[in-house]
A and B are shown apart, each in its own frame.
Chain A
Amino acid sequence: DIQMTQSPSSLSASVGDTVTITCRASHSIGSYLNWYQQKPGRAPKLLIYAASTLQSGVPSRFSGSGSGADFTLTISGLQPEDFATYYCQQSYSTPLTFGGGTRVEIK
């Protein structure tokens, strides 16, 4: 199974800050990497797929990069509605696996 390791597990940031979340796969997964945002009590929402492609309707302050085993999600200019938990997920092979999540909190 491919293990997905996210860091940090949580962070505190202020509105307007730039935030970077990293995700590392235990094996190379090419660009089969997706990012999701989840707010409390809500279903996850797809933000970025294929490592760097922004899902339709997602603000351009979100960006993704990386390939192989190391990936990053960057939020440039954090907005109040961005405080949430973020998950990476690989679709390179079954079982599909998620990272443990990164909780972005208000400083």
Chain B
Amino acid sequence: QVHLVESGGGLVKSGGSLTLTCAASGFTFSDFYMSWIRQVPGKGLEWLSYISGSGATGSIYYADSVKGRFTMSRDNAKNSLYLQINSLRVEDTAVYYCARGPDIVEESAANMDVWGQGTTVTVS
């Protein structure tokens, strides 16, 4: 069945870097947009970035709050999605989720229909 599994979280010192990975299975990975979303403990959901199925330059979008520090990429041959986070700040402490979608070109596909279980990043 369709499955997303995040990894790479952990305890990191402020100013450090981390790369999160999302392993996809059960669907044709390259056919789908993918997103990263985070959630600070006890708070709401914050969309971070999304990438088209091809991952081509110009098809990656970021929230202003992370632009320049976060880099999203994908390797369709490995069915994997990545989020590189640089210059980590205490306020980056959160659970990071990957999700399938959205394809905002089509209204019926402009949603995030499959989510991973999340990986926790703690910045001290």
Residues of A within 8 A of B (CB): 1, 30-32, 34, 36, 38, 42-46, 49-50, 53, 55, 87, 89, 91-101
Contact = CB atoms under 8 A, between A and B. Distances in A.
B57 interface: no
B113 A95 contact: no
Nearest to B67: A95
Interface residues of B, number: 23
Contacts of A55: 113
A50 to B, nearest CB: 5
A96 B110 CA distance: 10
14 contacts: A1-B64, A32-B104, A34-B112, A49-B108, A89-B111, A91-B102, A91-B110, A91-B111, A94-B61, A95-B47, A95-B64, A96-B50, A96-B102, A97-B47
Interface in B17-47: 35, 37, 44-47
A46 B111 contact: yes
